[in-house]
């Protein structure tokens, strides 16, 4: 099993992203804010996977990012292909916490880690929505697929 395969097996959802030349900064590595976009790509992939099961009606409830954190471990440079792993580590009354890792296929190492807290928002009332039991169960199923 390759490092890539091993990394992917640690997460129920993994997004593959090609580093773009325009994402680099004046220091010759990927700009720090771009990592949050990489996390966003994995977060949306996870939520779309959940929504496809029918337990998250995004016409009624919106997942909203309430907090995020990123730890930069190693610089990333163009060209590279990154794997962004995403997993739910906690289910709260009104949302979830996700953990992320970014793996560089060029370096063969994890280059960044992150955390996000997502709150569910009821579109009509503009207030926090409860995590439905069906949603919680679906997340458990997804996480069991690791």
**73-124 confidence digits (pLDDT tens):** 999 999 999 999 999 999 999 999 999 999 999 999 999 999 999 999 999 9
Instruction: Give the residue extent of every domain in the chain.
Output: 3-144
Query: How confident is the model at residue 84, as a pLDDT?
Result: 98
Sheet holding 61-72, edge to edge: 13-18, 81-91, 95-104, 109-122, 61-72
Using 50, 70 and 90 to split pLDDT, how confident is the model at 55?
Answer: confident
Is residue 1 over pLDDT 70?
no
Percent of the chain with pLDDT over 90: 85
Interaxial angle between packed helices 133-144 and 32-52, expressed in degrees from 0 to 180 and rounded to the nearest 10: 110
| Prediction pTM value | 0.93
Looking at CATH, the fold of the domain delimited by 3-144 is given as: Thiol Ester Dehydrase; Chain A (3.10.129)
């Amino acid at each position: 099993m390759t490092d890539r395969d091993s990394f992917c097996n640690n997460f129920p959802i993994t997004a593959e992203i090609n580093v773009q030349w325009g994402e680099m900064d004046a220091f010759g590595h990927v700009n720090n804010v771009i990592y949050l976009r990489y996390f966003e790509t994995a977060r949306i992939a996870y939520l779309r996977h959940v929504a496809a099961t029918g337990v998250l009606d995004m016409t009624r409830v919106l997942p909203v990012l309430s907090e995020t954190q990123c730890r930069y471990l190693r610089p990333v440079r163009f060209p590279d292909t990154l794997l962004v792993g995403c997993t739910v580590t906690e289910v709260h009354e009104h949302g979830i916490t996700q953990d992320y890792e970014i793996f560089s296929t060029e370096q063969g190492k994890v280059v960044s880690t992150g955390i996000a807290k997502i709150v569910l928002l009821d579109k009509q009332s503009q207030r926090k929505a409860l995590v439905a039991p069906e949603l919680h169960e679906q997340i458990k199923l997804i996480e069991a697929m690791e």
